[in-house]
Chains A and B, each alone.
Chain A
Amino acid sequence: MLSLQHIVKQFDSYKANNDISFDVPAGSVFGLLGPNGAGKTTLIRIITGITAPDSGTVLLDGKVFRLENRQDIGYMPEERGLYKKMKVGEQLVYLAQLKGLSKAESTKRIKHWLYKFNIESWWSKKIDELSKGMQQKIQFIATVVHQPKLVILDEPFSGLDPINADLIIKEIDELKKNGATVIFSTHRMEQVEELCKRIVLINKGQNILEGNVTELRKQFKENQYKIEFEGTLSPKLIDSFAIRQPEPTIIEVQLAPHQTSNELLHALLDSHLNIINFQEVLPSLHDIFVKRVNECNVS
Chain B
Amino acid sequence: MRTILIIIQREYLTRVRQKSFVVTTFAGPLALILLTFLSLKMSTYSGSVKTINIIDEGNVLHQMPLPDKSDHSLYFKYTPLTAQQISEQQATNIDQVYLILPKTDTLRLLSNLELKYFGTKQLGRADREYVEKVIADKLQLQKLKVFNHSQEEIDNWEIKTKLEYISTKKDAEDTAYNDAAAAIGLLTGLVIYIMLIFYGVTIMRGVMEEKTTRIIEVIISSVKPFQLLLAKIIGIGLVGITQFVIWVILLVGLNLVLLPIIGLDTTHMVNMGPGAALKSSSVDLEMMQNMIIGFSKINYLKMFFTFLIYFIGGYFLYGSLFAGLGATVNEEGETQSISMIVTIPIMASFFISTAVINDPSGSLAVWASIFPLTSPVVMPVRMPFNPPLYQVLLSVFLLFATFIGSTWIAARVYRTGILMYGKKANFRDIVRWFFYKG
A282 CB to nearest chain B CB (Å): 36
Question: Is B438 touching A51 in the complex (CB atoms < 8 A)?
Answer: yes
B430 CB to nearest chain A CB (Å): 14
User: Which residues of chain A are within 8 angstroms of B209 by Cβ–Cβ distance?
Assistant: 83-84
Question: Is B224 touching A77 in the complex (CB atoms < 8 A)?
Answer: no
Whether a CB of chain A sits under 8 angstroms from the CB of B222 is yes
Question: Is A50 touching B6 in the complex (CB atoms < 8 A)?
Answer: no
B12 CB to nearest chain A CB (Å): 12
Q: Interface residues of B toward A: which range?
A: 20 to 34
Question: Is A83 touching B222 in the complex (CB atoms < 8 A)?
Answer: no
| Contact A52-B221, Cβ < 8 Å, known A94-B6, A98-B6, A98-B7 | no
Whether a CB of chain A sits under 8 angstroms from the CB of B41 is no
B217 CB to nearest chain A CB (Å): 4
**Bound complex: CA of A50 vs CA of B221, how far in Å?**
5
**Would you list the 5 A-B pairs with minimal beta carbon distance, nearest first?**
A81-B214, A81-B215, A79-B214, A98-B222, A48-B221
Question: Is B218 touching A142 in the complex (CB atoms < 8 A)?
Answer: yes
Question: Is A81 touching B217 in the complex (CB atoms < 8 A)?
Answer: yes
A103 CB to nearest chain B CB (Å): 9
User: Which residues of chain B are within 8 angstroms of A244 by Cβ–Cβ distance?
Assistant: none
Question: Is A77 touching B10 in the complex (CB atoms < 8 A)?
Answer: no
Give A1-43 as 1s and 0s: 1 = Cβ < 8 Å from B's Cβ atoms.
0000000000110000000000000000000000000000000
Question: Is A70 touching B438 in the complex (CB atoms < 8 A)?
Answer: no
Main secondary structure of the interface of B (DSSP, over half): helix
Question: Is B213 touching A77 in the complex (CB atoms < 8 A)?
Answer: no
User: Which residues of chain A are within 8 angstroms of B224 by Cβ–Cβ distance?
Assistant: 67
User: Which residues of chain B are within 8 angstroms of A45 by Cβ–Cβ distance?
Assistant: 217, 419
**A contact residues, total (Cβ < 8 Å):** 31
Whether a CB of chain A sits under 8 angstroms from the CB of B14 is yes
When C-beta atoms are compared, the residue in chain B nearest to A53 turns out to be B437
Whether a CB of chain B sits under 8 angstroms from the CB of A107 is no
User: Which residues of chain B are within 8 angstroms of A70 by Cβ–Cβ distance?
Assistant: 221-222
**Bound complex: CA of A93 vs CA of B217, how far in Å?**
17
Whether a CB of chain A sits under 8 angstroms from the CB of B66 is no
Residues 98 to 152 of chain A near chain B (Cβ within 8 Å): 98-99, 139, 142
Whether a CB of chain B sits under 8 angstroms from the CB of A49 is yes
Whether a CB of chain B sits under 8 angstroms from the CB of A86 is yes
Knowing that A50-B419, A67-B224, A98-B219 touch, tell me 12 more A-B residue pairs with CB under 8 angstroms.
A45-B217, A49-B221, A51-B419, A71-B222, A77-B217, A79-B214, A80-B214, A81-B216, A84-B209, A94-B10, A98-B7, A139-B218
Whether a CB of chain A sits under 8 angstroms from the CB of B242 is no
Residues 206 to 245 of chain A near chain B (Cβ within 8 Å): none
User: Which residues of chain A are within 8 angstroms of B14 by Cβ–Cβ distance?
Assistant: 85-86
Question: Is A95 touching B218 in the complex (CB atoms < 8 A)?
Answer: yes
Question: Is B432 touching A52 in the complex (CB atoms < 8 A)?
Answer: no
| Contact A81-B213, Cβ < 8 Å, known A12-B432, A98-B219, A142-B218 | yes
**Bound complex: CA of A45 vs CA of B438, how far in Å?**
11
User: Which residues of chain B are within 8 angstroms of A50 by Cβ–Cβ distance?
Assistant: 217, 220-221, 419
**Bound complex: CA of A70 vs CA of B220, how far in Å?**
9
A17 CB to nearest chain B CB (Å): 13
Residue in B210, B221, B438 with the greatest tally of chain A CB atoms within 10 Å: B221
**Bound complex: CA of A97 vs CA of B3, how far in Å?**
8
**Bound complex: CA of A157 vs CA of B191, how far in Å?**
50
Question: Is A75 touching B6 in the complex (CB atoms < 8 A)?
Answer: no
When C-beta atoms are compared, the residue in chain A nearest to B436 turns out to be A11
User: Which residues of chain A are within 8 angstroms of B276 by Cβ–Cβ distance?
Assistant: none
Enumerate 7 A-B pairs (CB-CB under 8 Å) in ascending A order: A12-B432, A48-B221, A67-B224, A77-B217, A81-B217, A98-B6, A98-B7
Residues 199 to 235 of chain B near chain A (Cβ within 8 Å): 209-210, 213-224
Residues 1 to 23 of chain B near chain A (Cβ within 8 Å): 3, 6-7, 10, 14
